[in-house]
């Protein structure tokens, strides 16, 4: 897929008199960093969401495409962008009834006073165009309404089937430019789809876009499947399966749809995670009742043992520089978090908060570790890798299994209600705000993000 600014020829006769603007917009959303205070209401949104208008995108020529007519695509692209921005919690999209029709000349010469009148602080305009090469071009332009200035523009050329990705990329551009945070909309989520009663649960590996679109089941539910993880290069998914009544870690190739056993040993292997360079998988293996952490090359071969204690050691997760691993161990009597070097040396405990701690996941930014805290229910929290700065982000009966978005800001987890109920996927911002449920076709658990897509 090529990403480039749309050529001048696309706007023959139109004024293209703006250039990429410098910083200085007065409309940047309030953003408290990861060390900011938690507000009392963990379900609440950000205090000052930016009002943003995302009108339907016009098309220079209305034609049919395999993905629908370009006029219809222009509407759908705008809706996907609007939904992404709304779900981030930082933006308050202007209501549909106040969105004006935009024609092609206005795309690059916005009617600022009109947008100002409906209270928009920022404006996202663009266009969709069917190319002569059988691909779709989407132009994406971000404006500061108050200062009447363009802020940024980008263009995306995609296969028609990938039109949603162009919309997510545009939303990522807007989000990153206005919040200063990294992008995360243009990625995929792998998770465990769950259906049926608690004592006869069907579990399948499933993948979907961050907004729930393009959903697909990867396994057929005949074997229990758990804890999938995307490789950082996005090409494979590692997970645990009870195929043939033997609980083992498998690597699934996303392109070919084939899977292979990661470690050929007569013991349960579980809790797999990739190294940041996608070359290794750290996992746990239970031998004679004792679970320790091992590392193995993705091409298979002899695993290298990293921990060797009588306690249960599991849930290893690499730091983004690949040099350290955070994991949980009950060697001190209850589950706590530990950090060690990637070769297993220098194992030291980092959690001392008085609770029990599990399922650690190192943020892709390296600055935080997310975890499940146990004790009177399960809650999602974060702490710094040295164990300081612990903050609890959620408050429910069973919130478990955090995983990070590529931008190190948004966390997904699964929430299970009491009784005979299905779990579901939820999202929370690293400050504890913007708790929201993610749509899935059936119940869901164990979410994990892919990297930003190529």
Partner 1 sequence: MSQFSRTAIFLTAGSALALGACSRSAPDDLPPPPIGSTMPDTTPTGSTGPLPGSRADFLAQAASDTIFFETDSYDIDPEDRAILDTQAAWLVANPGVRVTIEGHCDERGTREYNLALGERRANAASNYLAARGVSASRMTVISYGKERPIALGSDASSWAQNRRAVTVVPM
Query: Applying CB under 8 A, which residues contact partner 1?
Result: 195-199, 201-203, 213, 215, 217, 220-221, 224, 226-227, 245-247, 268, 270-271, 284, 286, 288-291, 312, 314-315, 328, 330, 334-335, 358-359, 372, 374, 378, 397-398, 400-401, 416, 418-420, 441-442, 445-446
Cβ proximity to partner 1, 210 vs 315, nearer residue = 315
Spatial separation of the C-alpha atoms in residues 213 and 79, rounded to whole Å: 13
Q: How far is the CB of 226 from partner 1 (least distance, A)?
A: 6
Contacting residues for 152 by C-beta, under 8 A, at least 6 apart? 20, 21, 141, 142, 173, 174, 177
Q: How far is the CB of 378 from partner 1 (least distance, A)?
A: 7
Q: How far is the CB of 178 from partner 1 (least distance, A)?
A: 28
First to last CA, the chain: 8
Cβ(287)–Cβ(293) below 8 Å: no
Neighbours of 215 (CB within 10 A): 14
The torsion angle over the Cα atoms of residues 77, 80, 84 and 87, rounded to 10 degrees, is 150
Q: How far is the CB of 156 from partner 1 (least distance, A)?
A: 21
Cβ proximity to partner 1, 18 vs 217, nearer residue = 217
Cβ proximity to partner 1, 188 vs 203, nearer residue = 203
Q: How far is the CB of 132 from partner 1 (least distance, A)?
A: 26
φ and ψ at 173, to 5 degrees?
A: -60, -45
Spatial separation of the C-alpha atoms in residues 398 and 381, rounded to whole Å: 13
Q: How far is the CB of 220 from partner 1 (least distance, A)?
A: 7
Cβ proximity to partner 1, 431 vs 448, nearer residue = 448
Cβ proximity to partner 1, 1 vs 287, nearer residue = 287
Element (H, E) at 283: strand 280-287
Helical segments of 37-69, H only: none
Cβ proximity to partner 1, 322 vs 334, nearer residue = 334
Spatial separation of the C-alpha atoms in residues 241 and 8, rounded to whole Å: 53
Cβ proximity to partner 1, 331 vs 365, nearer residue = 331
Q: How far is the CB of 241 from partner 1 (least distance, A)?
A: 12
Cβ proximity to partner 1, 46 vs 312, nearer residue = 312
Within 13 Å, how many C-alpha atoms sit on residue 386's CB side?
2
Cβ proximity to partner 1, 114 vs 286, nearer residue = 286
Residue closest to 165 by CA, chosen among 173, 449, 257, 437: 173
Q: How far is the CB of 44 from partner 1 (least distance, A)?
A: 27
Q: How far is the CB of 390 from partner 1 (least distance, A)?
A: 17
Cβ proximity to partner 1, 177 vs 412, nearer residue = 412
Q: b or e along 63-97 (b: 16 or more beta carbons within 10 Å of the residue's beta carbon)?
A: eebebeebbbbbbbbbebbbbbbbbbbbbbbbeee
Spatial separation of the C-alpha atoms in residues 279 and 257, rounded to whole Å: 20
Spatial separation of the C-alpha atoms in residues 280 and 287, rounded to whole Å: 21
Residue closest to 131 by CA, chosen among 106, 154, 107, 159: 159
Cβ proximity to partner 1, 154 vs 340, nearer residue = 340
Spatial separation of the C-alpha atoms in residues 219 and 241, rounded to whole Å: 10
Number of residues that make up the chain: 454
Q: How far is the CB of 377 from partner 1 (least distance, A)?
A: 9
What strands lie across the sheet with 236-241, from one edge to the other? Answer: 225-230, 236-241, 248-253, 259-261
Q: How far is the CB of 242 from partner 1 (least distance, A)?
A: 8
Q: How far is the CB of 416 from partner 1 (least distance, A)?
A: 8
Residue closest to 221 by CA, chosen among 204, 206, 238: 204
Cβ proximity to partner 1, 215 vs 365, nearer residue = 215
Cβ(51)–Cβ(119) below 8 Å: yes
Place of tokens 């809790």: 271
């Amino acid at each position: 897929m090529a990403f480039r600014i749309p050529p001048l020829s696309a706007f023959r006769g139109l004024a293209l008199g703006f250039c990429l603007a410098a910083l200085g917009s007065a409309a940047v959303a309030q953003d408290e960093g990861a060390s900011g205070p938690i507000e009392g209401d963990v379900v609440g949104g950000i205090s000052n969401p930016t009002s943003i208008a995302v009108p339907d995108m016009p098309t220079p020529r209305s034609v049919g495409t395999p993905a629908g007519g370009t006029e219809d695509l222009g509407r759908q692209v705008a809706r996907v962008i609007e939904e992404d921005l709304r779900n981030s919690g930082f933006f308050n999209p202007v209501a549909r009834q106040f969105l004006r029709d935009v024609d092609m000349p206005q795309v690059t010469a916005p009617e600022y006073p009109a947008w100002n009148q409906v209270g928009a602080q920022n404006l996202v305009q663009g266009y969709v165009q069917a190319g002569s090469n059988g691909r779709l071009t989407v132009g994406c332009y971000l404006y500061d309404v108050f200062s009447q200035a363009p802020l940024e523009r980008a263009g995306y050329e995609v296969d028609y089937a990938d039109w949603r990705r162009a919309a997510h990329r545009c939303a990522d551009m807007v989000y990153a430019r206005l919040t200063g945070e990294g992008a995360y909309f243009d990625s995929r989520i792998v998770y465990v789809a769950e259906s049926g009663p608690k004592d006869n649960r069907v579990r399948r590996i499933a993948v979907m876009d961050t907004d729930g679109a393009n959903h697909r089941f990867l396994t057929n539910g005949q074997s229990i499947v758990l804890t999938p993880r995307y490789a950082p290069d996005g090409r494979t998914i590692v997970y645990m399966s009870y195929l043939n009544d033997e609980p083992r870690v498998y690597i699934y190739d996303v392109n070919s749809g084939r899977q292979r056993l990661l470690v050929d040993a007569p013991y349960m292997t579980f809790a797999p995670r990739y190294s940041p360079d996608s070359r290794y998988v750290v996992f746990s293996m239970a031998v004679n009742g004792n679970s320790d952490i091992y590392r193995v090359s993705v091409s298979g071969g002899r695993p290298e043992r990293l921990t060797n204690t009588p306690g249960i050691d599991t849930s290893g997760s690499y730091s983004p520089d690949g040099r350290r691993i955070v994991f949980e161990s009950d060697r001190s009597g209850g589950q706590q978090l530990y950090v060690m070097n990637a070769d297993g040396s220098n194992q030291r405990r980092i959690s001392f908060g008085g609770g029990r701690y599990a399922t650690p996941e190192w943020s892709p930014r390296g600055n935080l570790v997310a975890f499940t805290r146990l004790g009177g229910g399960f809650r999602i929290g974060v702490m710094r890798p040295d164990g300081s700065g612990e903050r609890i982000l959620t408050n429910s009966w069973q919130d478990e299994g955090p995983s990070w978005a590529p931008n190190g800001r948004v966390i997904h987890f699964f929430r299970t209600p009491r009784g005979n109920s299905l779990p579901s996927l939820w999202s929370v911002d690293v400050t504890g705000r913007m708790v929201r449920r993610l749509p899935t076709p059936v119940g869901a658990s164990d979410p994990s993000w892919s990297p930003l897509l190529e």
